[in-house]
Amino acid sequence: MLTVIGIEGLPEIVPGDDLPALIAVTTDGRLEDGDILAVTSKIVSKAEGRLVAAADREDAITSQTVREVAARTAPDGRITRIVENPLGLVMAAAGVDASNVPEGFVLLLPEDPDASARAIAAAVRERSGLAIGVVVSDTFGRPWRAGQTDLAIGAAGVRVVEDLRGGRDDNGRDLQVTAAATADEVASAADLVKGKTSRMPLAVVRGLAHLVGPLDLPGARSIVRLGPLDMFRVGSEEAWREGYEAGLRAAATPVE
């Protein structure tokens, strides 16, 4: 049976806090072997000092932009920018967050969410003596779908993908492409109890012990599609413009 449990009791996190130790203490006696602990990235960023002064959030987004994928201006003038950030994640506003932070500041994503997840998992395992996994989550919009959901940006001790290729379905057909994005599914399930305004940044997903393993398993970075694997490198308007401009250049090139 799958169970998702919100974990209360974590104090307000400030820069410099030993977050792995605080989480280990807060979850002490509340975990079971094989649990997966989902941690909201915001508290990781706060502890790691990723709170930066920014008079203009757009400037902060630009500083975290490796590549702009698409930009749209709403009727009210608000600009939405979908960009690739230094982690290779393609998301709105590069993951720069201005909610629940002091005025004039923004919060950047952790520099290495997989390393952050490993530190938390190691501290909890050492204190509890239990084999647990950790997923660090953040909120994403999704192509072709309205609304947002949480996905894994960091992971440790968790099989981030459950590869079912080579198995058979109920009708005996070979499974040739099925690979479940388990870390993302854990992050989304945990968000159902963490929510966006509940101030509950921790949740335990119980019942998936078969996904928990050693801390050196591949992290969430391994499931980011980049380069030739990225079939949607730019937005639709941007792709049309690139094609149009390429056509103009070709037309202007003299034929020998």
Q: Hey, which CATH number is domain 1-50+109-224, 1.10.3720.10, 2.60.40.10, 3.30.1330.100, 3.40.50.1980?
A: 3.30.1330.100
**CA dist., res. 86 & res. 112, Å (int):** 10
| Per-residue CA distances from 163 to 176, 179, 205, 209, 235 (Å) | 10, 4, 20, 16, 29
Q: Where are the domains of the chain?
A: 1-50+109-224
Task: Please list the pLDDT of the chain residue by residue as tens digits (256 residues).
Answer: 899 999 999 999 999 999 999 999 999 999 999 999 999 999 999 999 999 998 888 999 999 999 999 999 988 988 899 999 999 999 999 999 988 888 889 999 999 999 999 999 999 999 999 999 999 999 999 888 999 999 999 999 999 998 765 555 565 565 555 678 999 999 999 999 987 666 899 999 999 999 999 999 999 999 998 888 888 888 888 888 988 888 888 888 876 6
CA distance linking residue 253 with residue 3, whole number of Å: 63
Beta strand 36-40 pairing with 133-142:
parallel
